Structure 1
């Protein structure tokens, strides 16, 4: 038996570490839920997207896609475009998700135990994902009750905030904030300040007026169009060469945004953080998730954060960053990052793929916590899946795919779609897969940092990377067609699609566990000896007199955990990943307690010590 002793320096972390001024204390208590608005819930069919609202020209037969249809079945209008599922139609689909749908489902989120919502972009844009903004000071009109009226009102505006109106979609978003806040939920918006869409008001003006545009310095123009030629020579700097995403220009120092777009972003920040402008931010959003944050000059982030803090010192800012980012977070004054590097990668290696030895996983978790100041560790956003990855259940289904292309990341978000890899399985998770999913969720809810659930993961949804991670939400009252079609035209057995009540109940219970014990939210963490042969990993969470032990048996055989137990102390089960309390044996034996875990099991033990 190989035992890896991993008592690490983080074990000395204070349970109540002093919080720097820029890290809001509420985040440690939060459980986040990520919503992709276009695919979450359609609460108002009268505002559904139209063919004219799309970013590209599509056949006249285009129509809104049926919410409960077979995801892989292609509509006639898609077949008119071409034969390829991924290249000819799926990105032009719209399902009609909107703000009213989110409002209608707030009670569902409250029942689940969610206390914070992260919304993918809600601002006006032509795409389904809204990362190609046409405006940052208005909510997408088709998310609100009067798209035509909102669009007409917006045409009369400029970059001057004095001209900005509150559209009906804007006001419905403010109602969403009010209703979420009334339920004790905070709302974090996606901020995309590196680039815009081609229909962004400033870039549209630049396209039309070229050198005569007052916005010509907002972007980096490489060549203007020559009106004397039939060709369009207009070229500009864009994000990763994608010409639909022109980038904002930097200033001369290259350490800040150009004054024009910078002033605009600061203005919209004020607008959404304190909508009525009275100095009280209670009617505004509670934070920002910043897209491709490292691609925006760090000087801008410092100035922007100064404004954010002046409006609401309790606002949360989290950077999208996939690798080690401690220095960047410090320089840019962010509160945290989406914790792919510190949580998602080792979780995939250890629990999902079972290729990272328990001892090495323990060390990776511990070392990556230590990359950040103590208070920041509690604010890290611990996610497993998102709109940028395959779904957790499908990660588990495809866990055996080898060899790795990027071993250090365990191929997290690498080649995880049949769009590029025919061997990626689309099958529904089986009972063993679901058992592992429960272990992953338990780790999320017991680890140090704020857990985030991607919409539908708690409902049992599965799917490959974009676009298949963005299927319509599976709701319990809806009857869905089975997934029988195949994107490559291959025969496969139909896969039933339905809301997974058992998985929902499990997530609800795991979230309740986190809310029940302060040690899981704000307590210290101490990593305990791992067992590589048994694939066993464990840690202790403490807060004052409260003490919990958390252990995971990723192996295929039962494992007996020898827990040192001082005289008079006892262990009792607080939670299990499987829900099978009777399958875990606890047997005191002298100064240790033997805890026998069945295969693929996670457990939370409560330690009771003598007074």
Structure 2
């Protein structure tokens, strides 16, 4: 009885703390340059753990001739097993596997450090049979085929329950902990994808419901519409799936609708702590640095407040980023997230002006200002400033198609449900590299990412010159065999500049000049007595730089060697300092 009373006191104290916790911007996150990795497609470091046909999400419907796809094979070439399964190219892509794994990431850590990367964001690495792994079978184990002993890991997992006392550390789990240590030794922090809205049908709790229905101890974990009636021949079992997808059953909310149901919430809290404090010793230094949370807006705000209070007790400096496509400021305040994927405040205006050239320089400046100024405190300095991701076409393809499909582009210029995706096949989508002018824009964009307020985040392979349309083309294996040294150098040099100049990471921001006619945009970053001026010329002609804001400064970095304090060539950018 005393033990139960003590537990209730602790719970009351925790809930009180959850009401008072506020949005927090961890100071270290201002200095991060993020690199997003889609694990199965980044690098194959251990061919012995490659996926098998049996490991796929629907092996019975996959050709017996299935085999791993060679890493350096051409994307649009089709293996015999694919041709046997379907005449249509897209039909078999979700069954392809290339063998990317955690060892492959470890093998590339020195490369990432040299590039200038100080943070890695992993798309889902938890156990799941699908390619994308947003339909997890569990949240407390790394996918066995990302580690060195898939068969052994699966045997261990089969012995467990939802009780964390039954959880063991598989070989893949241990390799992930090694990856954390190896990354930390190189000054690289790691965050991972959390999917707290839904699971896969083979998630241990839902798998139990599928066989025992309302008798399952997990029956209240999910949003079940109707259980099967054993008195009828028909199976009436039905449930809510994310956006109607039955492969993604959604967790249930509690009766208030403002929190998750107790069962999944308790499990998520336990799984969260496992990766934040692996030794369970109160020292989070051997755990992950934070989380990126999928479809955050579809999880109740009450849960996020409570969860953030919990994780900040484990690690007060934890970083959390919400997947938000719209304006994020109010949502972050309401849910206590530290950051967001900055689509609205960076990616969308950058595409509208710097890539597509469809808005003016002054409108670009206004959009940046509106979103940046909407955030409280230091939040703007840690927003993840991306231009592409696993959910979009690659930046190189956006540039290559900057003059395409004007009749389908809406006011946001970034809606990937519009004609850029739907009509790509039938309206001449350019699934090739940018032209010469496009490469100049690409370099400008890289420098813009490195100098604007917020943390740059690039999608794996951008720096080696990859292009690709929206999913699935954006998830090709990294082109290690088609390395583009010029593009790589543009990223590496821009990131080196950012690391060397504190004003670019922590300084104030001010727009100095916009010229809509010539499409020029100039801004400054200041910190103490340090002052840097960044000028971008999106126009097709030279611009004369006659503003007094360049007095006493010189070019310290540029995308075109002809840039100076009097002239900026077309489609180029420069940084001026003392």
- Place the TM-score, normalised by the shorter chain, in its bin: over 0.9
Task: State the alpha-carbon separation in 2 of the partners of residues 83 and 432 from structure 1.
Answer: 37
Distance 1:95 1:229, change over 3 A: farther
Q: Which residue of 2 aligns with 1:268?
A: 271
Distance 1:230 1:507, change over 3 A: same
1:554 lines up with 2:538 in the alignment = yes
The Cα shift of 1:373 comes to 1.1
**1:8-47 → structure 2 map (5 Å cutoff):** 22-47=24-49
Conserved in 1, the CA contact under 8 Å of 2:409 and 2:419? Answer: no
Q: Which residue of 2 aligns with 1:503?
A: 487
Q: Which residue of 2 aligns with 1:12?
A: none
Distance 1:267 1:419, change over 3 A: farther
Residues 21-78 of structure 1: CA deviation (Å, up to 9, x unaligned): 7210011111000000000000111111111111113111111111100101111111
| Corresponding residue to 1:325 among 318, 328, 332 | 328
Conserved in 2, the CA contact under 8 Å of 1:35 and 1:118? Answer: yes
**1:74-153 → structure 2 map (5 Å cutoff):** 74-86=78-90, 88-153=91-156
Q: Which residue of 1 aligns with 2:5?
A: none
Task: State the alpha-carbon separation in 1 of the partners of residues 564 and 139 from structure 2.
Answer: 56
Q: Which residue of 1 aligns with 2:435?
A: 430
The Cα shift of 1:404 comes to 4.8
| Gapped regions of structure 1 (runs ≥ 5) | 1-19, 479-497, 587-594
Residues 67-109 of structure 1: CA deviation (Å, up to 9, x unaligned): 10010111111112211111x2011100000000000110110
SS at match of 1:69: coil
For normalisation by structure 1, the TM-score amounts to 0.89
1:602 lines up with 2:573 in the alignment = yes
Task: State the alpha-carbon separation in 2 of the partners of residues 261 and 158 from structure 1.
Answer: 13
The Cα shift of 1:274 comes to 0.1
Range 50-59 or range 420-429, more displaced: 420-429
Conserved in 2, the CA contact under 8 Å of 1:415 and 1:421? Answer: no
Task: State the alpha-carbon separation in 2 of the partners of residues 296 and 514 from structure 1.
Answer: 35
Conserved in 2, the CA contact under 8 Å of 1:534 and 1:553? Answer: yes
| Corresponding residue to 1:202 among 205, 209, 224 | 205
Residues 525-564 of structure 1: CA deviation (Å, up to 9, x unaligned): 0012200000111111000111011011001111112221
Q: Which residue of 2 aligns with 1:58?
A: 62
Q: Which residue of 2 aligns with 1:444?
A: 449
For normalisation by structure 2, the TM-score amounts to 0.94
**1:455-466 → structure 2 map (5 Å cutoff):** 455-466=460-471
**1:202-221 → structure 2 map (5 Å cutoff):** 202-221=205-224
Conserved in 2, the CA contact under 8 Å of 1:22 and 1:309? Answer: no
Q: Which residue of 2 aligns with 1:362?
A: 365
Conserved in 1, the CA contact under 8 Å of 2:146 and 2:172? Answer: yes
Conserved in 1, the CA contact under 8 Å of 2:522 and 2:536? Answer: yes
The Cα shift of 1:406 comes to 5.0
SS at match of 2:281: coil
Q: Which has the higher helix share?
A: 2
The Cα shift of 1:132 comes to 0.4
Task: State the alpha-carbon separation in 1 of the partners of residues 422 and 306 from structure 2.
Answer: 43
Task: State the alpha-carbon separation in 2 of the partners of residues 565 and 177 from structure 1.
Answer: 44
**1:250-269 → structure 2 map (5 Å cutoff):** 250-269=253-272
Task: State the alpha-carbon separation in 2 of the partners of residues 224 and 290 from structure 1.
Answer: 30
Conserved in 1, the CA contact under 8 Å of 2:554 and 2:564? Answer: no
Conserved in 2, the CA contact under 8 Å of 1:404 and 1:410? Answer: no
SS at match of 1:528: strand
Aligned length: 553
